[in-house]
Structure 1
Amino acid sequence: MAEIERLIKSYLPMSEASFLLLFCLQQENHGYGIMQQVQELTESRVAMGAGTVYTILYKMENDGLIEVTRTFERRKLYKITPVGEAILEKETERIRQLARIADQRELVGAQ
């Protein structure tokens, strides 16, 4: 359990790129597929380059947040692990809290 807590502290708050990448790996995917999915999810607001994607994949794989599920045609397919799920959930909670705070600001500003 101490290892998960250490990882949570080292990853949170997550960069937008790390969050989106981990989010995309709730389903098996490869690097190029992640780049395409991020662009689709963000309506082209975020375009992740190969260097960014593969650097994050390498770090997250080494830390146990994701794992290679299989390899085909020189492509590695990755998927989130239970440790990655726990970190993604914590970050999602943090983002939701920020959204609630932002909503309160709008209410205060409207008065």
Structure 2
Amino acid sequence: MESRFAEPSVLILVSLASGPKHGYALIKDIEEVAGATLGPGTLYGALSRLEQRGLIEALPAEERRRPYRITAAGAEAVQAYLEHVRQVAAVGLRRLGAAHA
């Protein structure tokens, strides 16, 4: 079973947590970190939604590439989400361990 359940928005926020990136750099970082491949339509749709919600912001273009960075609100939101996922994962793993013991 593949472990690719994370939403593109979460993957983008996690990637941007290490610093600003443009689209191609986001795609490559997400592939490396999560083993997930985001197509351009998925990536840019998610970037647009994240920007509208104030979780990321576009920086001035560098040559023909537009980098994005996570905002304070985005960092806070992804941290809260990841802490929640960690709690759910801990319960799930305990339950699986008990069921297979």
**Matched length:** 95
Q: Does 1:52 align with 2:77?
A: no
Q: Does 1:78 align with 2:77?
A: no
Residue correspondence of structure 1 range 100-111 to structure 2 within 5 A: 100-111=90-101
Where in structure 1 do 4 or more consecutive aligned residues deviate above 4 Å?
none
SS at the partner of 2:21? coil
Q: Does 1:92 align with 2:90?
A: no
Q: Does 1:22 align with 2:37?
A: no
Instruction: Indicate the structure with greater strand content.
Output: 1
- Offset at residue 16 of structure 1 (A): 2.1
Instruction: Indicate the structure with greater helix content.
Output: 1
SS at the partner of 2:60? strand
Inter-partner Cα distance in structure 2 for 1:18 and 1:63: 11
- TM-score normalised by L of structure 2: 0.86
Inter-partner Cα distance in structure 1 for 2:57 and 2:7: 20
Code of the residue aligned with 2:20 in structure 1: it is E
Code of the residue aligned with 2:87 in structure 1: it is Q
Match of residue 31 from structure 2 = 39
Question: CA offsets per residue over residues 24-76 of structure 1, 9 Å max, x none?
Answer: 1111101111111111112x3x1100000000111111111001223111211
Structure 2 alignment gaps of length 5 or more: 1-5
Match of residue 4 from structure 1 = none
Identity of aligned residues (%): 33
Match of residue 66 from structure 1 = 56
